[in-house]
Amino acid sequence: MNERRWVNPIPGLPITRRVQPQRRTPISRPPRTNALRSLADTSQQFMTTAPFNQLPVKHSDSDEAINPVNSYIPPYLQLSSTHHQLPLLPSKLDIKNCRPSKLDLSDSDSTVTYAGPADGNEKDAATVRANEPVPRSSGIYYLEFDIINRGDKGYISIGYGNQQFKLTRLPGWEPCSWGYHGDDGCFFAQASDGVKFGPEYSTTSGCVIGMGFDFTQNKSFYTVDGTFIAYAPEPLPTTQMCPEIYPSIGLRSDNESVSVNFGLNAHKPFRFDIEGYVKRKKWDVIAHEIDNCKVDWRVDNEHRSVEFVETPQEMRNVLGDRYTYGDGDDDLSMPMGELVMEYLVHSSYAQSARAFNDSLSREKKADKTPIAHRSVGMEIDNSHADWLESLDEAASACRGTHNAILAGDIELALSEIRARWPAVLVDNQALTFELFLRKFVELAIRAHSVGSTQAGEAQEIRDAGGDEDMEMLQSPVFPPQIPPLELPHPDLMRSPSPAPHLNPLDRALAAGRALQAKYPPQVFPEFQERMRVAFALVAHDNIEHAPQQSLDLLDVNERQRLWEAVEMAINEAEGKPLQSALELVVRQAGATVSQSALMGDGKAAYIDIEDYIA
């Protein structure tokens, strides 16, 4: 039979019809079959090798920036830790913010040409701004201006200002505006008198003026034909004075024409090596700000504040030991030791906690730690020894559940949770549902793996000419109709395991029907969409034809996410905090740095907490 019909054994799903000999055009994404087979075959590996993963996961190192509002992020901006949070970048000159009678915009609004009177005077000046302000959270921002034509007198001003300065004047002449003028090479800062700054703009075409905003130093700078000229004599305006800074071009004489390169075209690189400049500044932030700063970890009980002080140069040891022993209160080994120990215990790393405890004990015996600190905090080696003994059993149980989930053995994980942490299944209805749903998904994976193996055997038989055997293997992978099971409504604590003598597909179908019986729509409407998505995995004779939303459930990372939710529930059941103190410190540090950068602290834009915990 060329055409095969089958009735979906799970009610509520559409009947799917396939014509067997027909082949689909290959799709662009990698085939799922091998990945699924690998997932099923390597499940056993997770039982022994899968590590805990508690700390925040580092972002992908892909060169392709992820930003919800910018389709392209220049490479130099990707060096900041905030590049995925940047607002809209300047991308063109804004026709709404200029004197249209005096200026012509062309080339997708990236080129401006003076269109005023040939013998224009100061009153005929005209300025155009970029469509978006400079992002202060970028740390460093840069763009270049190609002087297509200097014009009759070269009255070109390249600068910046707020949204209120008059567009009938050149940048630098008006309050809240600054500009580098091409006719005399002077820099004007909110005044009609300028100071000598750089060379005059070239009288020939091809001159490129670069303008940068370095928020790590709160300075602007200029380049000419790819060569750094100087920092502007005045600092960048504060956010109070100038909440938004707009790159601006001012023209005043006939034939003047300037084109802007905002850096958004990968095929049009900058003349100036801005990427190298940013890397040097990023290193300066790390070397001079972070490595020269240390924390006095003592808490002032009266003011509840933490004091930051400069570290003496001779104490800097950037590439040395993680634990240093300074003079008196400079030593951080005690508070850091307690933070690490608490994290290891919280995460059930029994062996690591014991080894770390022994290491701290040996260091104390060697008298490396100042005597003054021996009475501070708790004596780690003695006080921790009592409960390290009881930690092994709990850690072993937790590790067994962890390994079972990462191996896809959800039934084993459920058995261990019922035996040791029954409150997890009683108090967490949504988590219990996700566990049983994952059980169904894992059975569907195994069913597909077996089906793929049978398909391979069929091909071998076909190659050998075994027609009779071939007919047997071509029998439907999904039976034409499976009568519904008469299942009692089980409680939330237990779900009957599919009979072990059933084939993998039948076990998956039985698990699906049990899941439906456990969570009927009239009682649990919130779970119906998740079940519908999961059941689509067995609604097709080829799992690769399932909707993408269903295929996403096959991602091995789904196991890790489920384990993290289970672990949080276990910690809650045992009376532990949801996160260790070390994790809270790391998250707070990351949030503080991120918010500081978004508020315009240029140095914070080049600090990535994940660089220190990876």
Q: Is residue 203 part of a domain?
A: yes
**Burial category of 157 from C-beta neighbours within 10 Å (exposed 0-12, middle 13-18, buried 19 and up):** buried
- My answer on whether 127 and 215 are in the same domain is yes
Domain end point (choices 208, 243, 269): 269
End-to-end CA distance of the chain: give it in Å, rounded: 57
Q: With CA atoms as reference, report the closest residue to 322 among 281, 288, 359.
A: 359
99 and 21 within one domain: no
* Residue 373 is assigned to a structural domain of this protein: no
Based on the domain organization, do 519 and 445 belong to the same domain? yes
Residues 95 and 20 grouped into a single domain: no
Question: 112 with 19, same domain?
Answer: no
> Are 140 and 215 in a shared domain?
yes
606 located within any domain: no
Helices (H), 407-556: 410-420, 422-427, 429-464, 467-473, 504-518, 528-535, 548-551
Burial of 12 (0-12, 13-18, 19+ CB in 10 A): exposed
Do residues 416 and 519 share a domain? yes
Beta strand residue intervals within 227-355, DSSP E: 227-231, 246-251, 257-261, 293-296, 307-310
Task: Flag whether 599 is in a domain.
Answer: no
Same domain, 107 and 247: yes
Query: So what's the pLDDT on residue 340?
Result: 85
Q: What domain count does the chain have?
A: 2
Domain endpoint, select from 213, 247, 269? 269
Last residue of a domain, one of 269, 303, 319: 269
Task: State residue 33's pLDDT score.
Answer: 36
Under 8 Å between Cβ of 509 and 9: yes
What is the span of the domain harbouring residue 501? 3-27+409-573
DSSP H or E stretch at residue 215: none
CATH number of the CATH domain containing 135: 2.60.120.920
| DSSP class per residue in 3-43 | EEE---SSTTSPP-EEETT--PPPPSSPPHHHHHHHHHHTH
Query: How much is the pLDDT for 126?
Result: 92
606: helix, strand or coil: helix
Task: Tell whether 351 is covered by a domain.
Answer: no
The ranges of the chain with pLDDT < 70 are: 1-68, 97, 120, 203-205, 292-334, 364-394, 450-502, 614
Say how far residue 42 (Cα) sits from the centre of its chain: 28
So what's the pLDDT on residue 295? 63
Query: What letter represents residue 407's amino acid?
Result: A
What was the pLDDT predicted at 156? 94
Quick one: 13 and 149 in the same domain? no
8 and 107 assigned to the same domain: no
- From CA 568, how far away is CA 583, in angstroms rounded? 13
Q: Which residue has the tokens 């962890």?
A: 402
What is the spatial distance between Cα 370 and Cα 327, in angstroms, rounded to a whole number? 8
Please report whether residue 546 resides in a domain: yes
- What is the distance between the alpha carbons of residues 292 and 294, in angstroms, rounded to a whole number? 7
Q: Given this model, what pLDDT does residue 30 score?
A: 32
Confidence at residue 118, expressed as pLDDT on a 0 to 100 scale: 72
228 lies in some domain: yes
Residue 563 lies in a domain: yes
CA gap 241, 239 in Å, rounded: 5
